[in-house]
A and B are shown apart, each in its own frame.
Chain A
């Protein structure tokens, strides 16, 4: 990546698009701490977060989904969502083993909040099913529910529509809009142009690791460099 300067408006839905290999997922890895930038700063809620480990960044209120769904396959749907509550709970090794009264109260709260997150995405009736048994569309929703359960300030969605059919994509679109209604800032990487144009208020376009355009959907659709990037310079608009 080179010379990428981006700012995300709180409470908005913003998208990052670009051809394959443009660096969109790399950007996500940088923001969430899975990669460290060689130069530059990443500022979140007034703090510089570049170079911090992923779990520390997540603890600040940034949640994400992954391009290839990373569910906890050996756990149930509910348990996946319960792990989402990790940053908002305290029980440690000893309290977990000894089950103090406060620990049991906390467990109950974790379970209830996790169930609420499942209800938000419409998976509450599948709470006891093994996560691995879900079809892909529902797996993506579960990943969102898991991130939502952590009450993030910022939620990064990495190609959530990938592999989904039209019905599932509709459900996803509703979910993204509902997230914004909850006051969560959404940053979206997507290839599905229809979905992106429908939900995003602001779009940033990457190509070969550089930022080539930034603006509302209308402007991006007509931007010559964006069209060139996707379709090649010989294409006539």
Chain B
């Protein structure tokens, strides 16, 4: 990797991660950060699909679940090496995304949204019903922890370092991708599919590749989730969770790698702060989704920046540039 970018946001990121590792006391904060990290992995992948690729997945919880359950079943029930199980999860999610994407993306319009919606529900039902395999609604326990050689990742702090290092690598790969030949082709596709095609961009193949790529991120997040909690249940992989992920993308800002981190952070911490309102979580998320779409359609950061610019122009007596 190019050493030129070592002395900017990536080193800041790494520094922040290490500082928090050294200074935070107590498992609670590390556990919270672990969930933020896992959610961020999901959101970055979904953002590549939605923000850059212009497609919507309403069933990303399903790929999250496929990764989680593949890891869980293979390690807990069959004693497979967790790293191999993780790769197996990636293969399963990747091929499922391929099978789903080929017919859905050939059609114009929001067919991928509908296909992922249906797929998410099917996976949820299967997780609940295939009790012999998945443990049904009560879930699957006894998932072993990951190990890096002799070091067992069984404390929140160790998991935090591992998850956030993984996230850092994934963020870097994603940022590279956005600035690459296919990243440009993707953004071009989003702006004008016809023009992109006229420049030899195979738009169908590209949409499919991005969809599979985002499913792989989700699967990775799922496997990490299984090995973090050492227990999983279908109730974590619902349609509501897919909607939460979409909300995180929108809040952080579509087509923003760092915005994905912000969106995941805010909407993971918020339910923690509002435990009193737990019963109204669905309503609150819905309200946030509506508010973001109406007032801050470009996400929290850009929305606030736009607001600041707007007020600055008003103060200076200028007109708003279109």
Chain A 99-132 residues near chain B, CB threshold 8 A = 99, 103-104, 106-107, 110
Asked whether A72 lies within 8 Å of B181 as measured between CB atoms, the reply is no
Q: Say which residue of B183, B201, B209 sits within 8 Å of A55 (CB atoms).
A: B201
**6 A-B residue pairs with CB within 8 Å:** A63-B198, A74-B190, A75-B184, A93-B213, A96-B177, A97-B180
Asked whether A86 lies within 8 Å of B198 as measured between CB atoms, the reply is no
Minimum C-beta distance from B44 to chain A (A): 12
Cα A71 to Cα B180 in complex, Å, equals 19
Asked whether A93 lies within 8 Å of B200 as measured between CB atoms, the reply is no
Q: Say which residue of B177, B188, B194, B203 sits within 8 Å of A83 (CB atoms).
A: B188
Q: Say which residue of B177, B191, B192 sits within 8 Å of A97 (CB atoms).
A: B177
Minimum C-beta distance from A85 to chain B (A): 8
- Chain B neighbourhood of A66, CB < 8 A: 194-195, 198
Cα A92 to Cα B173 in complex, Å, equals 13
Chain B contacts to A: CB under 8 angstroms: 1-2, 173-174, 176-177, 180-185, 187-188, 190-192, 194-203, 209, 213, 255
Given contacts A86-B181, A107-B180, contact A64 B187 (CB under 8 A): no
Q: Say which residue of A64, A74, A89 sits within 8 Å of B198 (CB atoms).
A: A64
- Chain A neighbourhood of B184, CB < 8 A: 75, 79, 82-83, 86
Cα A96 to Cα B195 in complex, Å, equals 22
Query: Which residue of A is nearest B1, CB measured?
Result: A99
Cα A63 to Cα B200 in complex, Å, equals 9
Given contacts A75-B184, A86-B185, contact A93 B209 (CB under 8 A): yes
The secondary-structure label for the interface of chain A is helix
Q: Is A150 an interface residue (CB 8 A)?
A: yes
Query: Which residue of B is nearest A96, CB measured?
Result: B180
Asked whether B180 lies within 8 Å of A103 as measured between CB atoms, the reply is yes
Minimum C-beta distance from A54 to chain B (A): 4
Minimum C-beta distance from A94 to chain B (A): 9
Asked whether B176 lies within 8 Å of A99 as measured between CB atoms, the reply is yes
Asked whether A91 lies within 8 Å of B182 as measured between CB atoms, the reply is yes
Cα A110 to Cα B173 in complex, Å, equals 20
Q: Is A166 an interface residue (CB 8 A)?
A: no
Q: Is A44 an interface residue (CB 8 A)?
A: no
Cα A92 to Cα B255 in complex, Å, equals 20
Asked whether B187 lies within 8 Å of A86 as measured between CB atoms, the reply is no
Cα A33 to Cα B203 in complex, Å, equals 14
Among all A-B residue pairs, the 8 with the closest Cβ atoms: A96-B180, A87-B200, A70-B195, A54-B197, A58-B200, A72-B191, A97-B173, A70-B192
- Chain B neighbourhood of A93, CB < 8 A: 177, 182, 209, 213
